Structure 1
């Protein structure tokens, strides 16, 4: 297989993107974050002062929620490839975005010695989180959301030293917050282990296998851990990208596969019905699958055949209609005497009575 470019004489402009971004940074992000980065990068290359740019205009241009735009900039700032310059008297979310030179960053990170925080001696390229770094990180919404999710999973608040350790994983193993959360979920729910060192071992193993984002983790779990993959896939289909299922929700999901023997294809088909409700949930899907189970539905093809809406109830006596000629009473069962005579005989009888 090979790739080549069509040659054209019409130049509508182009935006060169550094290969370092495509090779190293793009695979670790979801598609929305990549779109926000590329559109902002294009605007930075255009240098058109007449353009009125804001996070709101990017949101409208890409047809995505404003919150996704803000999360995207937080993500790329966390990865160290942009800087946000906030205005002194401006809104908290009104800032300028500086795109750092990735070639220069590559040279700095790979060919220049780095020092750990708090020590003046040169060391390996290992980042050590300082208390000041933790304070700053807690201002980033995606980091806050990660810590809250982990608190829920381990059933207690994280202490500062644990939070600093987790931030070091983000940088040293180049992990996304979503993968960190899923590592905790994997350790606690599958192994029943809450030790921070054990979870770091999971992170290290995933890093060695090239698993640094949600998509790579999904592919890995699909092959290695079917149950964990099921939880993750279903929660994402319901729109809960960063939330792990509760213990009660896991029991319900297990029932779908273990007791009712549904396939993932059927379950995801049921999840498509969440468009009909403003509050999608595992219990809502459970109601749909319970109905399908009672109807003996086992495949997607059987849904259209066996899950048809009920026809409106019909009247028991179709002959009872307003103005109808078929209405009968008990007198209709009595044999009529006139049925014994012909029309001519009836006319003769009537003439005699008139005479």
Structure 2
């Protein structure tokens, strides 16, 4: 049995696929995954490397359920030849096909997919937190930055507002934005029982009160005018005793 290519009298275009994909990746993937990869690859080339896709529309075009489409796409993310980057402003991902040739040559790295990533993302809460942090940093957060922040939040169970406060505190105190320093601040607050911004301000108020009490204790007692008069009266009433003490001390000095 043999195959051959027919000659083409009319060229309607072709979609170039890397041989390494056909030789190495395709044989180990199921049919749904291959179908999704080839379809998306074709659409990216067709739309000048700027294809905005809708999952529902694609799943209908390919005759598969939305869940099957997501599983197929997730398969290539796990293989590492498709990468994705979270766009903080929209809460959506941008995807990219990675050159398998360059992966084999070692000039690029396979994408490291974290399947738990989406479980941490809360569009109504965390996206706002990330936007505030980016405003403080004056730089966009990377996927690694986002996952590190979310992992720390999951471990410490601190509020999103407190994380933003830590970045503000770090910038105000040091003028620098070192993530390890900020994470250290959050861990110290966590050990002090601080979980929210309200806890943070309550602790500040408590510290101010303690310092004020210490300052009060360090002040010397100053008698009131009434007390001073009372002391004068006491001394006058006991003038004979005072005279006796003076004479006693004078005599002892002579004896010595």
TM-score (norm 1): 0.30
Higher relative contact order (CA 8 A, sep 6+): 2
Q: State which structure, 1 or 2, has the greater radius of gyration over its C-alpha atoms.
A: 2
Q: Which has the higher helix share?
A: 2
TM-score (norm 2): 0.40
